[in-house]
Every structure is written in C-alpha cells, then in structure tokens.
Amino acid sequence: MSSETLPAFIESSNVERKQSLSEEQEKSQKPRVGEGFEAMSKRQMKKLIKQKQWEEQRELRKQKRKEKRKRKQLERQCQLESNSDGNDRKRIRRDVVHSTLRLIIDCSFDSLMVLKDIKKLHKQIQRCYAENRRALHPVQFYLTSHGGQLKKNMDENDKGWINWKDIHIKPEHFSEFIKKEDLIYLTSDSPNVLKELDESKAYVIGGLVDHNHQKGLTYKQASDHGIDHAQLPLGNFVKMNSRKVLAVNHVFEIILEYLETRDWQEAFFTILPQRKGAVPTDKACESSSHDKKSASVEGGLDNESSDEEDSRNELDSQHEEEKQDKENSNESAVNSTPH
C-alpha cells in the first residue's frame, strides 16, 4: 500500500469503527423484549384505584365542609340579629346547651410514649379543649392520670393550662372516681359497635400516640378494669384507605359533632382528615365492583396487603387538601390566657 493511500485508509477505518460503536450503543440502549413494558404491579393498581375513589369524593368532602361553615355562620348571624342591642362591637355568644355526657381522655399511657409523641398528644388535647369551648353542646371534659412527661411538657410549653375552664384535670385514674357501670371505653379493637350516645355515661378515649406500635392496648385497658367498651360505627358509614384508628382529637370532635347533628355520617365526613381517603360505604361498594372488573384485566388486586402498608402508601396528591384543613384548624389553637 502506497504512502499516499495510507492516510485515507486510516481515516475510513476510523469512520467505520465509530459507526460500529454507535450501532452497538443504540442496540444496548434499546430495550429488550419484555424490558420496560412490565405489567402494572398490584400495588400500583391498588394506588390507582384509591386515587380514583379519593378524586371522586373530593367534591362531596368540600361540600360537607362548606355546608358546615354556612350553617354555623347562619347561626351566628341569627343570634346577632335576635340579640342585637345597637352596639355592633359587642360580641354576643350563641346559646349553649351543656351536655351531661362525660368525655374522658385517659393519660395513663404516658410511660409508653417518647417525648415527640407526648408533644403530639398535648396538641391534640389543646384541640379538644378549644373545640369543646366553642361547641353548641359542650361535654363534661375530663383529663385523668395527668402527670409524668405530659404534665412536664404542658408546664414548660403551655403554662396557661392551669387556668383552663370547663375541664376537670385529675392525677387519679378515671376508675377511682367514676362508677364502673357508667364507663364505656372507646376502642377500635372492641367487637361492640356504638349506635347511640348515652348522655348519662362516661366515654373514655385512650390518650395514646404510638404510630401503631401498641396494638390492642386500649382494649386491654378496658378488659383489665372490667368496664364496657365499644367502637364508633365508622365501618357502617365510611370506608377509609387506612386503619380505623383515629387521633384523640378526631374522636373527641366526632362526638361533639354528633351531639349537634345526631347524624353519624355527617359527623364523620365533617371531621375526618382528607388524608384518610374516606368515602361513603355505599359509594365505595359501587366503585369497588367497577374497579375489580377493570383490575381483573390487569392481573387483579392484592387483597392481602396489610393496613400498615396502606398507610405508608397514602397519596401525595392529598397533601394540598390537607394543608387547607390545617389552615382551617389554625383558629383552634389554645390561648395560654384564661377564657
């Protein structure tokens, strides 16, 4: 090969080498048969079904909240008009009918919680106190077994609690000063479903924030003390994405709402946070039957996944509406000065 043709030969060889390399890269980047086109997993399918249910009920939840706000606004307006004495600056409190129902938060689980959970319980108690103070039918509010970490945290961060009104804060256990036959422990583990509220009774809410670490503890507490127990009729009216265990303040507020409306479904949908993905049981059944037909084409549903997994897989799209709930609840922050 002559020296004149050598550079041209080298150049063409380099071009061919680059072309072969680019072809190999393209081949390696192309998905093989079956790669990248895997069928949707059961978990993904379940999330899509939940998202669909949650989206379908968005307007219903908004409407419920809107109706409640309008109703309370109308009540305040009527109260002002009927009691107005010409002084617009004077704030007239609406008529309040105190309920004889006793509602107890049992704080005897103090040693089972870390400080972070104690602080959460403190905030939930604050919310209960604020809601009871503004309720149309406030209950006889008791805070029992008050001491330990909870009392220390309240002393340090909310010194005004000693001036709280319309609340009985006691260091003793509730069983020491309330008759056993008057007590009903509210626990989601109870096989008994509550149908009506007996205002002559004392209902106990377990003051426990444990993120599902201590299962069945409130039910055991009721059994150990030999007192009656029951769960709220949540399953009769509502289907949720997560477990039926509710925060202390949610149970408290649902009872206050029920005393006002005498309607369990309205109470649940007014109070339950949107992250729970609550839908009416009748509509949930219709949606479930429709979704099962669709899911059977894609490989079916994973009916055996745990409730804890459901809780971890809550939808990110619910956060925006949850922020709105938090903004609406800011007014419930408890004042450290006496009311």
Q: How many CA atoms within 13 Å lie on the side-chain side of 231? A: 17
Query: Which residue do the tokens 């093989």 mark?
Result: 32
Reported residue count of the chain is: 339
Gap between the Cα atoms of 188 and 244, Å rounded: 7
Q: Judging by DSSP bridges, how do beta strands 140-144 and 102-106 pair with one another?
A: parallel
Q: Judging by DSSP bridges, how do beta strands 279-280 and 238-239 pair with one another?
A: antiparallel
In terms of Cβ atoms closer than 10 Å to its own Cβ (0-12, 13-18, 19+), residue 177 is: exposed
Gap between the Cα atoms of 197 and 202, Å rounded: 10
Pick the catalytic residue from 158, 182, 189, 210. 210
Identify the DSSP state of 209.
Answer: -
Contacts of the segment 318-327: beta carbons below 8 A, 24+ positions apart: 318/54, 318/274, 318/275, 318/277, 319/275, 321/58, 321/61, 321/274, 322/273, 322/274, 322/275, 325/273, 325/274
Q: Is position 117 annotated as part of the catalytic site?
A: no
Gap between the Cα atoms of 225 and 171, Å rounded: 18
Gap between the Cα atoms of 250 and 268, Å rounded: 9
Q: How far apart are the first and last CA of the chain?
A: 105
Residues carrying an active site annotation: 210
